[in-house]
């Protein structure tokens, strides 16, 4: 999979993709992440990217030309399955969305800044808009990192255990059940005996019961959906 990210501050994305699972995914050749500095497409001597909004009001707006020129340049070499704008008024990210995006070949992410991007860019180029929650960040870089991580870990061969992602929270609209490791007893708290039984079917039944119980207690809205 190839992922391109357009950013005003590309240095914010250095760390998220340089460590752990995302780093291994790229080293294995399963994922390529390219971060493009929008400043390279800025206008005039000062590489301008934003301007005052029509109609007045606080906050600057990212201009059409720099974003359009960057997108068009990238489209000369790549056909994107989705061009995604990270925005608070986008569709809320969930596991089902990440699953679907992980099946694509090429994705382009646009990270907003200031008051947002000119609406005409959304109308002309953007095919999908994603929000990672009902709050506002300083820019779209952190949101892009979250979305890319949620997608990249699902690519076949990225995780050491191919079945691991199948049992994550939200995969079946359920939260994950409790998990335990050594020692068997810690400060008087012991591992549930069923997990030590070696009885695979009963263990899976227990895990399903615990997942349903935890979901009912903590996120009943998932069961309603």
Two tokens, residue 164: 């691991």
The burial of 62, by beta-carbon neighbours within 10 Å (0-12 exposed, 13-18 middle, 19 or more buried), is given as: buried
pLDDT digits (tens, 9 = 90+) for 118-144: 999 999 999 999 999 999 999 999 999
Look at residue 160 in the predicted model and tell me its pLDDT.
Answer: 73
pLDDT greater than 80 at residue 70: yes
pLDDT digits (tens, 9 = 90+) for 97-117: 999 999 999 999 999 998 999
Q: Are strands 32-37 and 2-7 parallel, antiparallel or unpaired?
A: parallel
- 170 dihedral zone (left: phi>0; alpha: psi -120 to 50; beta): left
pLDDT digits (tens, 9 = 90+) for 155-173: 999 997 655 665 566 777 8
Look at residue 220 in the predicted model and tell me its pLDDT.
Answer: 95
Look at residue 86 in the predicted model and tell me its pLDDT.
Answer: 98
Look at residue 24 in the predicted model and tell me its pLDDT.
Answer: 95
pLDDT greater than 70 at residue 150: yes
Q: Which CATH architecture has domain 169-224?
A: Orthogonal Bundle (1.10)
Going by C-beta distance under 8 Å and a sequence separation of 6 or more, which residues neighbour residue 173? 215, 222, 223, 225
Look at residue 225 in the predicted model and tell me its pLDDT.
Answer: 64
Cα separation of 183 and 5, whole Å? Answer: 44
Look at residue 169 in the predicted model and tell me its pLDDT.
Answer: 62
pTM over cut 0.85: yes
What is the dotted CATH code of the domain comprising 2-152? 3.40.1280.10
pLDDT greater than 60 at residue 193: yes
Q: Compute the average pLDDT of residues 22-43.
A: 97
Determine phi and psi for 26, rounding to 5 degrees.
-75, -40
Helix (DSSP H) and strand (DSSP E) numbers for the chain: 7, 9
pLDDT greater than 80 at residue 198: yes
> Where is pLDDT greater, at 168 or 189?
189
Instruction: Tell me the domain boundaries of the chain.
Output: 2-152, 169-224
Q: Please, what sign has the CA dihedral across residues 113, 115, 120, 122?
A: positive
């Amino acid at each position: 999979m190839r992922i391109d990210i357009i950013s005003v501050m590309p240095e914010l994305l250095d760390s998220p993709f340089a460590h752990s699972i995302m780093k291994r995914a790229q080293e294995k050749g399963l994922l390529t992440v390219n971060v493009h500095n929008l400043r390279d497409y800025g206008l005039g001597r000062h590489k301008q990217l934003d301007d005052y909004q029509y109609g007045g009001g606080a906050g600057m707006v990212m201009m059409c030309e720099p974003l359009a020129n960057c997108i068009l340049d990238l489209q000369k070499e790549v056909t994107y399955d989705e061009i995604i704008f990270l925005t608070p008024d986008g569709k809320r990210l969930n596991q089902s969305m990440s699953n679907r995006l992980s099946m694509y070949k090429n994705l382009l992410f646009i990270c907003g800044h200031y008051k947002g991007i000119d609406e005409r860019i959304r109308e002309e180029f953007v095919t999908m808009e994603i929000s990672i929650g009902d709050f506002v960040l300083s820019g779209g870089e952190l949101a892009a990192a979250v979305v890319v991580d949620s997608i990249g870990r699902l690519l076949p061969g990225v995780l050491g255990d191919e079945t691991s992602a199948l049992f994550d929270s939200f995969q079946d609209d359920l939260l994950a059940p409790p998990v335990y490791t050594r020692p068997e007893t810690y400060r008087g708290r012991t591992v549930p005996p069923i997990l030590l039984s070696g009885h695979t079917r009963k263990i899976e039944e227990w895990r399903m019961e615990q997942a349903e119980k935890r979901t009912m207690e903590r996120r009943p809205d998932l069961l309603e959906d």
